[in-house]
C-alpha cells in the first residue's frame, strides 16, 4: 500500500497539488482530505466552484482505487455524478471522506462526501473507476 505522504508528494506538480488538496488518510477502505477555499477556486460571490468540488472528489476516488489496484494495473474515471447541496465560502476549509461502494476486478465505485468547515454537507459525489490491467 502507498501512504498519504507518498501520494501527496506525487500530487505536488499536478492539479491536486495546484488546488491545495491535502490528503489526511489513505487506506484501502477510506480516503480523507482537506482543501482551503481560495479565491482562485471560487465562482462569483466567493463560493467554491462546482468544478473545484468535482476535481477534489474525483481525486479521492482515484486514490482509493489506486491503493486497491493489483500490481501493474492503472485506473481512470469513467463516470461521475455530483449532487450539490450547499456552498463553501471563500476563506474556509472543506473536508472530504471517500469510501467504496464496490471494489471489483474491473471497476470500483466510490462515494465522496464533501463538507464545509462547519460540518454541513456541500456535495455528494459518486464515481466509477475503471481498473486497467497491467
pLDDT tens figures, 49-65: 999 999 999 999 999 99
Mean pLDDT of the chain: 97
Which residues on adjacent β-strands are paired with residue 99? 111
The Cα 129–Cα 120 span in angstroms is 27
Q: What is the pLDDT of residue 2?
A: 82
Strands 74-84 and 93-103 come out as unpaired
Rounded to two decimals, the pTM is 0.96
Mean pLDDT score, 23-51 = 97
pLDDT tens figures, 60-119: 999 999 999 999 999 999 999 999 999 999 999 999 999 999 999 999 999 999 999 999
57: exposed, middle or buried (C-beta count within 10 Å: 0-12, 13-18, 19+)? buried
Q: How confident is the model at residue 1 (pLDDT cuts 50, 70, 90)?
A: low
Amino acid at each position: 500500500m502507498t501512504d498519504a505522504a507518498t501520494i501527496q508528494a506525487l500530487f505536488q506538480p499536478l492539479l491536486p497539488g495546484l488546488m491545495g488538496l491535502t490528503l489526511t488518510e489513505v487506506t484501502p477502505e477510506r480516503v480523507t482530505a482537506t482543501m482551503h477555499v481560495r479565491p482562485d477556486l471560487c465562482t462569483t460571490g466567493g463560493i467554491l466552484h462546482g468544478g473545484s468540488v468535482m476535481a477534489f472528489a474525483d481525486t479521492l476516488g482515484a486514490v482509493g482505487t489506486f491503493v486497491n489496484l493489483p500490481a501493474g494495473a492503472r485506473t481512470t474515471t469513467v463516470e461521475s455524478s455530483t449532487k450539490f447541496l450547499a456552498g463553501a465560502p471563500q476563506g474556509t476549509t472543506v473536508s472530504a471522506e471517500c469510501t467504496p461502494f464496490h471494489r471489483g476486478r474491473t471497476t470500483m465505485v466510490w462515494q465522496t462526501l464533501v463538507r464545509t468547515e462547519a460540518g454541513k454537507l456541500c456535495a455528494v459525489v459518486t464515481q466509477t473507476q475503471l481498473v486497467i490491467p497491467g
